[in-house]
Structures are given as structure tokens and as C-alpha cells.
Amino acid sequence: MTTHKLFPIRTHKAFTEDNAPTVSVVIPTLNEASNLPHVLPYIPAWVDEIIIVDGHSTDDTVEVSRELCPSARILMQEGRGKGAALSTGFAAATGDIIVMLDADGSTDPREIPAFVGALLAGADYAKGTRFAQGGGSSDMTAIRRFGNWGLTMAVRTLFGQSFSDLCYGYNAFWVWVVPVIDVNAPGFEIETIMNIRVIKTRMRIAEVPSFEHERIHGLSNLNAVRDGVRILRTIIREWLDWKFPWAFEKRESDPNPISEIAQFKISNRSQQ
Ligand SMILES: Nc1nc2c(ncn2[C@@H]2O[C@H](COP(=O)(O)OP(=O)(O)O)[C@@H](O)[C@H]2O)c(=O)[nH]1
Ligand SMILES: [Mg+2]
């Protein structure tokens, strides 16, 4: 990816009461039937679209989603992993703003106004942080905390940023951010890639203090060591791509379908 020369695209759109930005919430789910009753009812009523991207759950996730939230769009993800599910959801979202939310009760839907507020106040990308005043976590083991600290420091050093949190998946952004950061990764490294590419593309990033609650039922799908190594490899690859773009030139025959869909949406929107 050679996005280092890109300058941010802005919406340049004056929102009025009749033209208020619409909000889509994208939720990846993998066997979360018992957790969804603690999440879906707390999504603010003014959210325009809820997209649930299921990873072919073997429990009643889909049925429970339909029952709790009949208006939600339920999609089956293509490929495997949280990253693939989010990519499917981003491509399908029709809102001006996309909010990423987990289904296990860790990310609190009642914080959505703070994320949307940061975007309305001028940010391109509102990035949740558990390590700013007002944030916190009751879902981090010591190894995760240490790993996240080390990886955050690595990104701060390599990319010259002052992020306080790297591996956290509660973020919100304007829809046009999707093709600019051109994100496509299958696993949990998607959050890191997004957080790095918004630096590389010089987005206005606002950190939003957020409290991560303990997963309510079931076990995390993340493996701290396996996924930590994947994330470290991702950081190094992103840095090499940033510093030596000529070595990573994208081939013409390597299109990103997510980008094409988002570009299409953006050009349609600008004609409205
Ligand atoms: N669709 C889909 N969702 C996933 C997958 N892996 C994790 N998730 C969802 O992503 C969110 C976060 O996953 P979790 O296992 O709690 O990881 P952690 O929060 O990093 O410990 C939850 O809503 C999961 O249901 C997957 O492979 N496919
Ligand atoms: Mg979780």
C-alpha cells in the first residue's frame, strides 16, 4: 500500500437538521447468543443501521439477533476471522458514520454518542482508548496489558504518534475513511492496521476514553501470544511499506473489492 502521499479527503459537507449524518453500527459475532441481550438493547435508538456480521455461529446468534433487533441487517461473513467480518460489514454499511462494536459485552453501546460526537467535532477517526482519563478495562490479563503496551510503544516509536492504546477495537469513522485506509486483513490484526493507516494517511484522530468490560459469557477468540506475534509482524510490514513503498507497489491485478464498493458509494453520495 502506498498511501503515504495521500492527503485526507474531507467530507466538506455542512450538516443541517434535515441532512444529519447517518450512523451504521457494525457488529462481528461468533457464537454470541448469550451476550447479545446485554448489547443490542443498549444501542441508541437514533442509530440508523445495525449490521451484524456473523462468522457462521453454531449457536442461536442469528435467531437471537433477529428477535432482539428485527431491523438489524444480518450478513454472513466471507472468509474467516474478525477482520474479514468487519470488512464485510464496512462494505455493506450505508451510513455516513461507521461505529465498530463487539458483541460480547466488552464495548458499551452507551459510549456511541462520545464516538459520534468526536467525529462531529471534526475528527476523521475516533479511536477508543482504555488508557486515558475516563477509560479503563476489566477484560485485560497481565499478558495482554504488557503486550498491548509494548506494541503501542513500537507504533509510537516507528510512526511518531502519541497513541495511548493500540489493540482496541472500539472505533468510529466517516465512511470515506474505508477506501482511504484500504483495509483488508482476516484476523484481529485489523484493528492495528486501521490504527496505523489512519496515521499514514494523516487523518485527524481523536482518542475517546472508553471502558472495556469483561466479556459476559464464553471465551475470547483471541490468543494473546499467537495474535500478538501476528500484530507485531503487521506493524513491521506497515512500517516497511511506509518507508520503502517502491518495494511494496500494489499490482494492477490486485484489486481490493472493499475499496471499490466504498468508492462507488462515495461518488454516488457526492452526486446527491
Ligand atoms: N464474525 C466473526 N466475529 C468474530 C470472529 N472472531 C471474533 N469475533 C467477534 O469479535 C468480537 C471480539 O472478539 P473476542 O473473541 O471477544 O476478542 P477480544 O475482545 O479481543 O478478546 C466479538 O463480538 C466476537 O464475537 C470471527 O471469526 N468472525
Ligand atoms: Mg472480547
Ligand 1 pocket check for 28: Cβ under 6 Å: yes
Do the Cβ atoms of 135 and 129 come closer than 8 Å? yes
Q: At residue 4, does pLDDT exceed 90?
A: no
pLDDT average, residue stretch 1-26: 66
**How is residue 145 written as a grid cell?**
496489558
From atom 16 of ligand 1, which residue's Cα is the shortest distance away?
220
Higher pLDDT: 89 or 8? It is 89
For ligand 2, the distance from its centroid to the CA atom of residue 251, given in whole angstroms, is 35
Q: Write the residue with the smallest CA distance to atom 19 of ligand 1.
A: 220
Give the angle subtended at the CA of 263 by the CAs of 258 and 265, to the nearest 5°: 100
pLDDT average, residue stretch 127-153: 95
Using the mean position of ligand 2's atoms as its centre, give its distance from the Cα of residue 78 in Å.
21
Q: Please name the helix (run of DSSP H) or strand (run of DSSP E) that holds residue 241, with its range, or none.
A: helix 224-243
Q: What is the pLDDT of residues 14-46, one digit of tens each?
A: 677 777 899 999 999 999 999 999 999 999 999
Asked whether the predicted pLDDT for residue 266 surpasses 70, the reply is no
Residue 94 CB contacts under 8 Å (≥ 6 apart), including other chains: 22, 24, 49, 265
> Separation of 35 CA from ligand 1 center, angstroms?
12
The verdict on the CB of residue 127 being under 6 Å from ligand 1 is no
Q: Give me 228's grid cell.
A: 500478538
pLDDT tens for 142-187 read 999 999 999 999 999 999 989 899 999 999 999 999 988 888 788 8
User: Within 13 Å of residue 249, how many CA atoms lie on the same side as its CB?
Assistant: 4
| CA 71 – CA 67 distance, rounded (Å) | 10
The CATH code that applies to domain 23-270 is 3.90.550.10
Query: Cα(254)–Cα(38) distance, rounded to whole angstroms?
Result: 41
Q: What is the per-residue pLDDT for 6? A: 46
Task: Give the environment of ion ligand 2: residues with CB less than 5 A.
Answer: 104, 106, 215
Report the relative pairing of strands 211-212 and 136-137 from DSSP bridges. parallel
Q: Which residue has the higher pLDDT, 80 or 245?
A: 80
> Residue 3: which pLDDT band, with cuts at 50, 70 and 90?
very low
Model confidence, pTM: 0.87
Please give the pLDDT value at position 88.
Answer: 94
Q: Would you give the end-to-end CA distance of the chain in angstroms?
A: 30
Strands of the sheet with 23-29, listed across from one edge: 73-76, 49-54, 23-29, 97-100, 171-174, 125-129, 205-209
pLDDT at 253: 45
User: What whole-number distance in Å separates Cα of residue 146 and Cα of residue 164?
Assistant: 13
